[in-house]
Structure 1
């Protein structure tokens, strides 16, 4: 086996094992699982591990280089109209290709899937243009975020409650395993030719702004479509009686997801081919590496999506429903926090973000620190989401103060932490959230008799919000330590000087 692939699979194994053990522990104690659900989950976990390994290697070999090369070439062209048009088209293409969005669209009633998908794609395309203009003209990210979120929450007042959660969830699921590596690499390419002191921090923030586009566009869509009366169809768990039936369940789904991923990657590959012919003109060796990377990405995402949709989605729904039916269903809150802490480690795009943050900051912000911040943020968001499921409290009671705090912190921390934090919010809410945590919340909400559209939906939005705060708090700690270090060094220098002077005077007295 390829050494790099083996390493990636080992990394994904360490990421998936904790959440697998938690589910197994729950299945053997408070929520005994049917054998068919358990078999589906374990097989899904195996596919998840292999899929993440292939995907992350493919992202390193293909998605990141393509995005970086395209970004660099666009900046060098110095044709503003070409850059704007290309950014809009890129945003549309990668959004339509995003598997997470397909999952959300299928679970959202009252709005046709294609209408929702292309509405979200238009929002991402527009905000990718805004992101490039920010980099080009040096616009302040904090003020842009404040301005756009004021518009978001102003529009939210005119949208039906049943559509509000869907709108905020769409901002989270859009930035998934295909979108994040490409957009982040595009940011690197766009800033690579600048070389000024702000280039490093400006390479982040694209995901943050692109997450706003879907929220705004879907809020506008919510004024047109009325989701009232839309029905929720409970998730059915197939009855598996043998290993043959288990194989058939995954075998029937695998070609469908392979086709879905192939159709998703095809526009990206076609766009790259056009750029290669007219602008890039990369050598054969580099082209072969990118094509092999695309193949790894195809295989990885196919295995990953098959695993989470067929194996993890039924398990999440079942566990949520069983926990909510317990006499002490308040246990949903602490168990949700525990699941949230570990499940973020299994998000493929999180690994990509953490690695890039460590590389660009020269290790000042390590992967370990990033993962700790994301895990704590995910844990808090799951706890609050379970409170919403049990009580029916409006999503806005959490989002408005949460975003107000996050935007306020953006003026107190270094710029790069703000950009990384808002990027992290989009990255944390990936396919694991859409295919395990959302069904988990739906199952719990169904059991307590809540409103699925208003109480279960919104969990993605919560997951996307809390990292904005936790990562910036890390930034505050970092800033405090860096300011304290010179002062401490100065104190030590004075102390050393005093010790030397004392030693000299003591020697003179002795003579």
Structure 2
């Protein structure tokens, strides 16, 4: 129960800043009906407990399963078996990713299942590429450069209207379900190697796995036409009493429970087959993991109900009302404020900050990391809101941003390159797809803009910011080392190995 309370507190810290900002806006500038705000508060409550249950369940079940499968794949020493296993697990884990489900509901031009399956195949293919990189010790910086060159070449042949949706797909894929599993799989694979580069190679799987969905959705854009879709304004049901609010959520439970069970069944089947074949987990571990899967399912249902009934619709409504008033340029400072606090509230970001402080031996502190990431993500969200108001093409931001990030990757130490590119998926957490994207869609609809080109892209920009921010911190670290006379430069990979030994 203590672990559950800890996860719920972490979820509360993620949701609370957004709730307070919405409350202040509804009181001071954008009046909101009591019924709509009650739905929002109820959705926030569902979100808090849903994320708490889900994250605890993922820690107990998915992390253990990922490490077990990673270790078992390496034991087989069969390349085809490793490729097939990684592809299958990448596909299955992505299908159950809650952030992807939320995005799929908001892309009107493509059937949900088509988009989810396309993204899942992309993750599966590029997870295989990431694992092969570990096995054959390929430089992460060179591979990332090659992949992004291919990505932007394909983008030239894809309708420009689909660019923002594709890059958003890459951002939401590496969410609370996918990240723990892929990280655990990487640890299981790299731990089978005893060389000094094995710690470095445990990073970078998420970075490469997030490229796959972008590439596959760009290819999908050649066949689907997003501009043909009609995006209608979100209507919030009339609710007069707390019973009416509760009824809205209760009526949604059967639909989302069915969706979650369908998406989780393949993972449960793999878990059962893996246990029957390997007998890896003893009875107590098995019982604990089964409880973890129950937590995961319950958390996913609560999460999706809270998002779709209360949280996202009010975000959409707020965006519409803000630009319909005389305060439409207030959208940019509100975006800056939300971006600043969203990244601070992400539990995974705080873990990342501690990790960077440890591997740089305190020369880059977690406070510096917090400030750098908060400013970076705030700027990214501000740019997204500026795009909504002006309609500037997203590639004017993405191409220079990725060129800068890839250029810096040849200057900073390899371990920080892996952490920086992995952290893009960490920063674009649940709050980005559940509130920021609906906010931009509502604003864009009210302005009469093109939702596909102008509203989508906020997740992609949030995912890009840490790539630059963390590598800037890496360059600061290198500069401090040069200025510190008489202090030997610590090898980051050695520090990582020492830290892992201490944890063991």
Per the TM superposition, whether the score is higher than 0.5 is yes
In structure 2, what is the Cα distance between the partners aligned to 1:347 and 1:230? 33
Query: Does the CA-based 8 Å contact 1:73-1:280 persist in structure 2?
Result: no
Root mean square deviation, CA, Å: 2.3
* Conserved? CA contact 2:102–2:304, under 8 Å: no
Structure 1 residue aligned with 2:258: 259
- The answer for the alignment partner of 1:77 in structure 2 is 76
Q: How far 1:216 sits from its partner (Å)? A: 0.8
Q: Is the 8 A contact 2:226 2:452 kept in 1?
A: no
Bigger CA drift: 384-393 or 255-264? 255-264
Q: Give the distance between the partners of 1:246 and 1:361, measured in 2 at CA.
A: 50
Structure 1, residues 110-158: CA drift from partner, whole Å, max 9, x if none?
3222222222111111101000000101111111111111111111112
Cα deviations by residue, 1:247-288 (Å, 9 ceiling, x for unpaired) = 011111233223322222221221122222222522111111
Paired residues for 1:14-413 under 5 Å: 14-345=13-344, 347=346, 350=349, 371-413=370-412
Q: Distance in 2 between matches of 1:397 and 1:163?
A: 15
Judged with a 3 Å threshold, the aligned counterparts in structure 2 of structure 1 residues 163 and 14 are, in CA distance, closer, same or farther, namely closer
- Do the aligned partners of 1:346 and 1:432 also contact (CA within 8 Å) in 2? no
Change in CA separation of 1:429 and 1:38 when aligned onto 2, cut-off 3 Å:
same
- CA displacement at 1:327 relative to structure 2: 2.2
2:210 alignment partner, SS class: helix
**Cα distance between partner residues in 2 of 1:450 and 1:102:** 24
Aligned-pair distance for 1:238? 1.5
Poorly superposed stretches of 4+, deviation over 4 Å = 345-373
Q: 1:192 to 1:372 in 2, by over 3 A?
A: farther
The alignment partner of 2:486 has SS state of helix
Structure 1 residues 81 and 26: alpha-carbon distance in aligned structure 2, compared to 1, 3 A threshold: same
Choose 275-284 or 334-343, whichever is displaced more.
Answer: 275-284
Shift of 1:368: 5.8
Unpaired segments ≥5 residues, structure 2: 490-504
TM-score (norm 1): 0.90
Cα distance, 1:466 vs structure 2: 1.2
CA distance, structure 2, for counterparts of residue 264 and residue 483 of structure 1:
51
Deviation at 1:227, TM superposition (A): 2.9
Residues 82-91 or 365-374, more deviating: 365-374
CA contact (8 A) 1:204 1:420 kept: yes
1:10 deviation in Å? 2.3
Task: Note if contact 1:258-1:302 (Cα within 8 Å) is conserved in structure 2.
Answer: yes
CA distance in structure 2 between the aligned counterparts of 1:59 and 1:363, rounded to whole angstroms = 30
Q: How far apart, in 2, do the equivalents of 1:148 and 1:489 lie?
A: 35
Aligned length: 489
Bigger CA drift: 475-484 or 208-217? 475-484
User: TM-score if structure 2 supplies the norm length?
Assistant: 0.91
Give the equivalent residue in structure 2 for 1:446. Answer: 445
Q: Unpaired segments of 5 or more residues in structure 1?
A: 491-511
More displaced, 463-472 or 426-435?
A: 426-435
1:472-511 matched pairs, under 5 angstroms: 472-485=471-484, 487=486
CA distance in 1, matches of 2:269, 2:362: 35
Structure-2 separation of matches of 1:173 and 1:141: 22
The answer (yes or no) to whether the contact 2:62–2:181 under 8 Å persists in 1 is yes
Superposed CA offset, 1:198-253 (max 9, x none):
22221111111011101111111111223333211221111111000100111112
CA distance in 2, matches of 1:130, 1:360: 26
Could you say if the C-alpha distance between residues 144 and 246 of structure 1 is closer, same or farther in structure 2, counting changes exceeding 3 Å? same
Q: Report the CA distance between 1:373 and its aligned residue.
A: 4.2
Shift of 1:314: 1.6
How far, CA to CA, are the matches of 2:185 and 2:354 in structure 1?
16
